[in-house]
Amino acid sequence: MRIYFPHAKSYRLPSKDPFYCVSFYILKRVRKPKFNMPPLVRYKIPIIGHTYSYTFNSEEFLKQCKKEYGGIFSIYVWGQVRTIVGKEYSQEVLSRDDAFYFGKAFFEIIPYDLLLKHMGLVNMLNMPKLLKEHIFCKLNFYSERMQKCLHSATQKYIDSNVHDDPKVFDNMYFLIIKIISTPVANVFIGEEESKNDEVVATFAEFTSDLSALIKIPPFLNFFYPGLLNRILVSSGLYNPAIKHRNILIKYIKNQVCKRLQEKAKYGDSWKRPDDLLQDIIEQENIDFNNVNYPSLADKMLLFLFASIHTTSNGCANAFMDLASHPQYIQELYEEQLEVHKEADENGVLPFEALDNMKKLDSFIRESLRLTGHILALDHSVLKDYTFSNGLQLPKDHTVKIYVDDIYQDELLQHVDTNVPASKIGKNFMLFGGGKHACPGRHFAINEINFFLYNIILKYNICTKSGKIEGRRMYSPTAYPSSSGIIIEKRVK
């Protein structure tokens, strides 16, 4: 078994000779200028440090730390020192893209270099550009297809199960992820394959399978950050990419062969399919007789993780919040009835109709803002950095943004009713910020708006418990509630 360490250089010991080791240590201390690091929160048990409080009581634990140590402090969890950045300095982290980077910290949890080994780092770094050039600038063009897919998927996964009586659905996330995956599959690999159950299942399951890696306690971080997940993936003990790559290769091959034949048959009159797959084939000038299918499939898998789990999480939260707050439903229903007047005979809205879903969009924004993470947006320090308050962090350190600190601040809690859900801001950082702020946020918000528009028009929904269902916490990370929801068809 081989385990790859992307930053192995910094972990190589010079020798086992004790004299050499001591000299090396002294030399390192002398050479390294003393950093004015954020205060490390006191702990009693060596090795364990703050791991227990961080895992089981993060909200109270971090509140206490902030009270005692101020806006930036460090904690010792799973064998690593991590710096927690509160509301005063979080914008500094998000706006200084020369000093902080999201992707590298994420690699530590999800080892993409091992999971998607056929695509290469350059392709990975190119992903935002590719999506911007081929999808995000064509949201209007894809809007009709997005809506049709959402309609048919809602029909398939909800409508067909709700007959004359109300029906209870548990864990909406797993149902919503399939609905969200359908338009994404349509835009990524084409109309035809998005109708295939196996394709939609792969789009939905790859991201939820990867989420399991996020939930595994990182016991081996004491030796090397991310080591446990690297072992699990590289040994094949848990590598969801293998199964999903094989499925994608099957369908991508099917498409490529079909397109090749049709192009040869119809020549100039061939109707070129519009989707990301075709865009990639043309942009990269792929030779049809020598296609690197594993690389193409890995590219799709990378896009999936960025787009599906995130959107489904937001959508499931908004759905649960709607069911938990029946007092808002009538007003939102009236707005959607008005918007529906703009629909064509197939129920498809013009793209501009999104501008008229102001209340729904505002509801979604509020639900996204209150996603409920205590800590989020881990960033790696790219170069030695000095905060505006003089505290310093060395290169390769990891910071976590204390998002709950922002939500707890009364002054930042005002609700911006006229601000679109996609607008990032000081109290709205679900999509990150600065140069690397999520470029897919408009795509995601459009999808959630169109989905909920449909739900509100068609169904009455409420929680089975009759109470507000909050988020499910897993350490400092929030997930949508899995509690039961009652869905009933509206009587028109």
If the CB atoms of residues 135 and 228 are measured against ligand HEM, the closer one turns out to be 135
Helix (H, G, I), strand (E, B) or coil at 474: strand
List interacting residues with ligand HEM (CB under 6 A): 94, 102-103, 127-128, 131, 306-307, 310-311, 314, 377, 430-434, 436-441, 443-444
Helix (H, G, I), strand (E, B) or coil at 427: coil
CB of 136 to ligand HEM, least distance (A): 7
The beta strands (E) that lie in 150-280 are given as 167-169
If the CB atoms of residues 71 and 432 are measured against ligand HEM, the closer one turns out to be 432
Spatial distance between the Cα atoms of 104 and 107, rounded to a whole number of angstroms: 5
**312 CB contacts (<8 Å, ≥6 apart)?**
173, 176, 177, 180, 181, 204, 207
Structure-token pair, residue 479: 């997930």
Spatial distance between the Cα atoms of 217 and 68, rounded to a whole number of angstroms: 27
Spatial distance between the Cα atoms of 91 and 85, rounded to a whole number of angstroms: 10
- If we measure between CA atoms, which residue out of 212, 268, 266 comes closest to residue 239? 212
CB of 421 to ligand HEM, least distance (A): 9
CB of 277 to ligand HEM, least distance (A): 14
- If we measure between CA atoms, which residue out of 194, 198, 173, 174 comes closest to residue 184? 194
To which residue do tokens 């390294």 refer?
32
**326 CB contacts (<8 Å, ≥6 apart)?**
462
CB of 184 to ligand HEM, least distance (A): 7
If the CB atoms of residues 232 and 368 are measured against ligand HEM, the closer one turns out to be 368
Specify whether the CB–CB gap between 481 and 472 falls below 8 A: yes
If the CB atoms of residues 97 and 191 are measured against ligand HEM, the closer one turns out to be 97
Spatial distance between the Cα atoms of 442 and 428, rounded to a whole number of angstroms: 15
If the CB atoms of residues 146 and 297 are measured against ligand HEM, the closer one turns out to be 146
CB of 314 to ligand HEM, least distance (A): 4
Structure-token pair, residue 429: 């950082």
Spatial distance between the Cα atoms of 151 and 375, rounded to a whole number of angstroms: 35
If the CB atoms of residues 296 and 438 are measured against ligand HEM, the closer one turns out to be 438
Show binding-site residues for heme.
438
CB of 146 to ligand HEM, least distance (A): 11
- If we measure between CA atoms, which residue out of 73, 78, 28, 29 comes closest to residue 53? 78
Structure-token pair, residue 167: 């029906």
If the CB atoms of residues 135 and 227 are measured against ligand HEM, the closer one turns out to be 135
